[in-house]
Amino acid sequence: MKLRRRRFLSLAASAVALPPATRIACAQTYPIRPVRIIVGFPAGNASDIVARLIGQRLADRLGQPFVSENRPGAGGNIGTEYVVNAAADGYTLLLISPSATTNATLYDNLNFNFIRDIAPVAGIARAPYVMALNPALAATTVAEFIAYAKANPGKINMASSGNGSLSHMCGELFKMMAGVDMLHIPYRGSFMPDLLAGQVQVVFGPVSQLLANIQTGKLRGLAVTTATRQTALPDVPTVAEFVPGYEASGWYGIGGPRNLSDGIVGSLNRTITADLADADLDQRLAELGGVPMPMTPAEFGKFLAAETEKWAKVIRTANIKAD
């Protein structure tokens, strides 16, 4: 009897001596049930595809379903607000895209502060954009395009995917930094028919969307918007080679409610970072026009703050309003 009591006391003492994190880990391992990844856009949108892709990888590694759930509306704000108000237990995450950083300035009456209320977890991928022209416009370099635009202010029609969209933002950033005036033509549907027909002359759009028409000569790829040249368009220079400091692109990442624990954030980040080093996922992202963008939570947080600040200046300078 005494031996059993001593054994119990010994085990109890050992449990008390364990570090708190170890005791918690012994009691519960994350995740123990399905996790939702909230996407603020409709099914089939690029954000939704990325969420499903990374969700499957997380499920394979962590042993629980990571289910993409679409909550579209208000440029992604409905989905973001849902996650802001969710329990910070790791079972409700957010697929983050550039709209989150532009919406902070585009919308005046948001019920949340994105930088304060969403915890950065991990970067997933960067999606390069390209400045593409209808070949009827004679410019073959960014320098020639700028010269033509300055000689013909307001006569170049610049298409975008809609007012406040990233394609619009990329174009407005170019206008500001290059000192040119172009007429913005926002589209709710596809701008491609009008671009190919020459009714609009230039667009800043995803490489994945424009690549085929550039390769066949139906469009001219003038420059990529990223800081470095892209494998898909190796002979196409960067905008920054002509407009120093210019950089813009699409991107995706994962976040959660602001009080998400360091342990859960760290676990998710390590898993996503390991996935991004996998050649198969690299190939899948390439098929979507993306390249891996691994970041620590701190790096991703700084990135989100910098993007928010950059686009706020563009939105205010161009006086852009949400539709």
Per-residue pLDDT tens for 2-15?
434 444 344 334 43
Examine the fold and report which residue of 189, 214, 241 is the final residue of a domain before the chain moves on. 241
Is 235 in the same domain as 261? no
Is 223 in the same domain as 139? yes
Cα(161)–Cα(167) distance, rounded to whole angstroms?
6
Q: Tell me, what's the pLDDT at 169?
A: 97
- Strand 157-160 vs strand 183-186: parallel, antiparallel, or unpaired? parallel
Q: Tell me, what's the pLDDT at 231?
A: 87
Per-residue pLDDT tens for 271-300?
999 999 999 998 888 888 889 999 999 999
Per-residue pLDDT tens for 133-166?
999 999 999 999 999 999 999 999 999 999 999 9
Is 151 in the same domain as 197? yes
Is 153 in the same domain as 292? no
Per-residue pLDDT tens for 197-236?
999 999 999 998 999 999 999 999 999 999 999 988 999 9
Q: Is 16 part of a structural domain of the chain?
A: no
Q: Tell me, what's the pLDDT at 22?
A: 39
Q: Tell me, what's the pLDDT at 28?
A: 56
Query: Which own/partner pairs from 59-65 qualify as long-range (CB within 8 Å, at least 24 positions apart)?
Result: 61/271, 61/274, 61/275, 62/30, 62/31, 62/267, 62/271, 63/31, 64/31, 64/32, 64/33, 64/34, 64/35, 65/34, 65/35
Q: Tell me, what's the pLDDT at 306?
A: 97
Is 120 in the same domain as 141? no
Q: Is 7 part of a structural domain of the chain?
A: no
Per-residue pLDDT tens for 235-260?
999 999 999 999 999 999 999 999 99
Name the residue among 293, 282, 243, 278 with its Cα closest to residue 124.
293
Per-residue pLDDT tens for 59-75?
999 999 999 999 999 99
Place of tokens 């005046």: 108
What pTM, to 2 d.p., does this model score? 0.86
Our CA angle for 317, 165, 157, nearest 5°, is: 75
Q: Tell me, what's the pLDDT at 278?
A: 92
Is 89 in the same domain as 69? yes
Query: Rounded to the nearest 10 degrees, what angle do helices 99-106 and 297-318 cross at?
Result: 40
Q: Give yes or no for residue 102 having a pLDDT over 70.
A: yes
Cα(237)–Cα(142) distance, rounded to whole angstroms?
9
DSSP string covering 102-129: HHHHH-S--SS-HHHHEEEEEEEEEE-E
Q: Tell me, what's the pLDDT at 8?
A: 37
Q: Tell me, what's the pLDDT at 201?
A: 98
Residue 269: C-alpha distances to residues 81, 237, 298 (Å) = 22, 33, 11
Q: Tell me, what's the pLDDT at 197?
A: 97
**Is residue 69 classed as helix, strand or coil in its secondary structure?**
strand
Is 217 in the same domain as 254? no
Is 111 in the same domain as 186? no
Bridge partners of residue 268, in order along the sequence: none
Give me the domain span that covers residue 107.
Answer: 33-127+249-318
Average pLDDT over residues 309-321: 95
Q: Give yes or no for residue 16 having a pLDDT over 80.
A: no
Examine the fold and report which residue of 241, 267, 286 is the final residue of a domain before the chain moves on. 241
Per-residue pLDDT tens for 18-53?
444 433 443 358 999 999 999 999 998 889 999 999
What total of structural domains would you count in the chain? Answer: 2
